[in-house]
Structure 1
Amino acid sequence: MSDSPRVLPGFSLSLGYTIFYLSALVLIPLAALVLKTTQISLGEFWRIITDPIVVASYKLTFSASFLAAAINAIFGLIVAWTLVRYDFPGRRFLDALIDFPFALPTAVAGLTYASLYLKDGWIGGLGPNIVAGVNGVAGWLGAGPALAPDTLDWLTFPYTGQTAGIVLVLVFVSLPFVVRTVQPVLQEWDPEYETAARSLGADKLTIFRRVIFPELLPAWTSGFATAFARSIGEYGSVIFIASNIPGKSQIAPLQIVTKLDDFQYAAAASIGVVLLAISLLLLLAINGVETFARRHERAA
């Protein structure tokens, strides 16, 4: 009998509750999703998931999600490093602000970004507004139009049929995952290892690359994976800033909602199964890289 106190019930009861809990919330719903696709033939299933519009939505969803996760992997690490390593006025406020995307409804985030960055928004409309203002003054002076309408198009936020706006909102909703995954590891990190490496003649870049980052790599990879997975399923914020043109700027979750609105439940389930399968494969691959990194670290 173990001398350590057991706050929770014994192993059998705890394991049984864990399996029941995960089955009720995860396994059974996922099995039901897969079972829903059996209502159609294999040929019909293949036709739905290989439809050019649906395939285009897959490409946009995964490419934008990967890009957003990669951006957060870089800048989220910088944010976590700053919050842990430096003490400055407002640090606690910034630390609390990181969790804001968790509390804010994603539809509100989409509306906010759309009001800022679309062509008629405060920032997105900056170029056309400047052109209109300059031409207005030139017309008042009797000089005629001074600037062509497309002179400052580079100031207009590129959202129609492109991924820039989608990536922007996905960066917003997935930022906390990287920061909150890396931050605890940095807080537990002992700076004496850096001092020892510096005493041996290592420069700052070498210390970070050979001493600090290997310790951060598993958590950093997990943060990237969770940010990527979160971005794949995002819907509420994206539909407000994307132009939602079929085959160009429609994400896969919007394809699912469109099928549901048309009462094509099996078709919606088919697209969902593809998203589920690809997400699981990617997460398994990322977890495999994380496991390899940990084994390499222990061997070293």
Structure 2
Amino acid sequence: MSEAIGGSTASVRSRKRRRSALPGFGLTLGVSLTVLCLIVLVPLSAVALKAAGLGLRGFIAAGFSARALAAYRLSFGAALIAAGVNGVFGLITAWALVRYPIPGKSIINAVVDLPFALPTAVAGIALASLYSANGWIGALAAPLGLKIAYTPLGVVVALTFIGLPFV
């Protein structure tokens, strides 16, 4: 009798499918990987094929062209300046927020953490509109002859804004 009971429960268990903790995981993973391939890997492979078609000399010539060198100079120079500014002001801000009872401490903390809450593209659009000639800050800087948006100074401001919470 015990064999009959044991045999019946085994057959019930074999007929019963185990439910996954993540339903639809296989289908979701397949769709996600397909979209990833289409959005990332296809354009990346097109760039790699174009670079391979240039040959080694063409690739080196493109990497050391005047336009590429200007892009390197702007990128590394702006990153170096923004890192220095963030290092100094981030350390001062962090020290003051941790050590001293400051009025409006939670507001300052929220402003420092703002780049974490905003997607980078939204932050870039917001900074461009604020610092453009008809933006709030750009309108104050225009009479002084300062153009901030779409200049290397604007790149430094954007990198400083994005990098401050990481200090």
**TM-score when normalising by structure 2:** 0.62
Distance 1:127 1:83 in 2: 29
Aligned partner of 1:168 among 151, 157, 161: 157
| Paired position in structure 2 for 1:57 | 71
TM-superposed deviation, 1:76: 0.3
Q: Which has the higher helix share?
A: 2
Maintained 8 Å contact 2:115/2:162: yes
Counterparts in 2 of 1:165 and 1:84: CA distance versus 1, 3 Å: same
Structure 2, gaps ≥5 residues long: 1-40
| 1:16-41: CA deviation from partner (whole Å, max 9, x where unpaired) | xxxxxxxxxxxxx9xx99xx487242
| Paired position in structure 1 for 2:108 | 94
| 1:63-101: CA deviation from partner (whole Å, max 9, x where unpaired) | 011101100000000001001111233323433442220
| Paired position in structure 1 for 2:20 | none
Maintained 8 Å contact 1:126/1:155: no
| Paired position in structure 1 for 2:166 | 177
Map 1:227-266 onto structure 2 (within 5 A). none
**What fraction of aligned residue pairs are identical, expressed as a percent?**
42
Amino acid at match of 1:171: T
Distance 1:124 1:99 in 2: 23
Is structure 2 residue 29 aligned with structure 1 residue 39?
Answer: no
Aligned partner of 2:94 among 80, 96, 115: 80
Paired residue secondary structure (1:95) = helix
| Paired position in structure 2 for 1:192 | none
Counterparts in 2 of 1:83 and 1:118: CA distance versus 1, 3 Å: same
Counterparts in 2 of 1:60 and 1:81: CA distance versus 1, 3 Å: same
**TM-score when normalising by structure 1:** 0.36
Bigger RCO of structures 1 and 2 (CA < 8 A, at least 6 apart)? 1
| Paired position in structure 2 for 1:119 | 133
Maintained 8 Å contact 2:82/2:160: yes
Maintained 8 Å contact 1:158/1:164: yes
How many residues align? The count is 121
Distance 1:100 1:120 in 2: 23
Distance 1:76 1:60 in 2: 23
Maintained 8 Å contact 2:128/2:149: no
Which deviates further from its counterpart, 162-171 or 66-75?
Answer: 162-171
Structure 1, gaps ≥5 residues long: 1-28, 129-151, 179-300
Distance 1:98 1:126 in 2: 23
Counterparts in 2 of 1:56 and 1:103: CA distance versus 1, 3 Å: same
Map 1:216-235 onto structure 2 (within 5 A). none
TM-superposed deviation, 1:158: 3.8
Backbone CA RMSD of aligned residues: 2.6
Counterparts in 2 of 1:121 and 1:74: CA distance versus 1, 3 Å: same
| Paired position in structure 2 for 1:109 | 123
Distance 1:63 1:122 in 2: 27
Distance 1:102 1:127 in 2: 27
Counterparts in 2 of 1:97 and 1:116: CA distance versus 1, 3 Å: closer
